[in-house]
């Protein structure tokens, strides 16, 4: 699965500035709202924040996957964000998060949504991939890393 088909260059930030979990989610949703795939920014934000209340999407290893299935989007979208200093995202390993992937999908995209999440999780298990994403400087590099990971 080529994850780059769900990414767009303008949906990436290499210098997230939000100091808190909620601030970072807002930044990522603001990026998502630049895509024609997103119908309603505020509805997407509410859905992601509501999902985050259930259990943290900070999976450990400096990675978080905030996500939601919502009517606010008409297709699957992945937003990439990086924070050099890291953010307390209440991650399962209690470490700050540096790499963020906001995943938004329509309510009826059950299988595809889970496949995207599973593929991203697999890619982020690799320390090498995480290091490469921390060094990436362009959207093209990020997409290449996501698509070329074994």
> Rounded distance, CA 111 to CA 142, Å?
24
Other CB atoms within a 10 A radius of the CB of residue 104 amount to 28
Phi, psi torsion values for 39, nearest 5 degrees: -85, -35
> Rounded distance, CA 62 to CA 38, Å?
27
> Rounded distance, CA 18 to CA 125, Å?
25
> Rounded distance, CA 77 to CA 62, Å?
21
Which of 67, 96, 98, 113 is catalytic? The answer is 67
| Residue owning tokens 């982020």 | 124
Q: Is 67 a catalytic residue?
A: yes
User: Catalytic positions, please?
Assistant: 67
């Amino acid at each position: 699965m080529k994850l780059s088909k769900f990414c767009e260059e303008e949906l990436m930030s290499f210098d997230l500035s939000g100091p808190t979990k909620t601030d970072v989610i807002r930044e990522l949703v603001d990026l998502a709202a630049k895509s024609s795939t997103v119908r309603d920014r505020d509805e997407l934000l509410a859905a992601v924040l509501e999902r985050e209340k259930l259990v943290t999407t900070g999976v450990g290893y400096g990675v978080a996957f905030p996500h939601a299935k919502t009517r606010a989007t008409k297709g699957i979208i992945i937003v990439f964000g990086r924070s050099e200093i890291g953010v307390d995202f209440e991650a399962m390993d209690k470490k700050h998060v540096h790499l963020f992937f906001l995943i938004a999908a329509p309510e009826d995209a059950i299988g595809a949504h889970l496949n995207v999440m599973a593929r991203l999780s697999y890619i982020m298990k690799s320390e090498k991939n995480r290091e490469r994403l921390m060094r990436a400087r362009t959207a093209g590099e990020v997409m290449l890393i996501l698509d070329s990971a074994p």
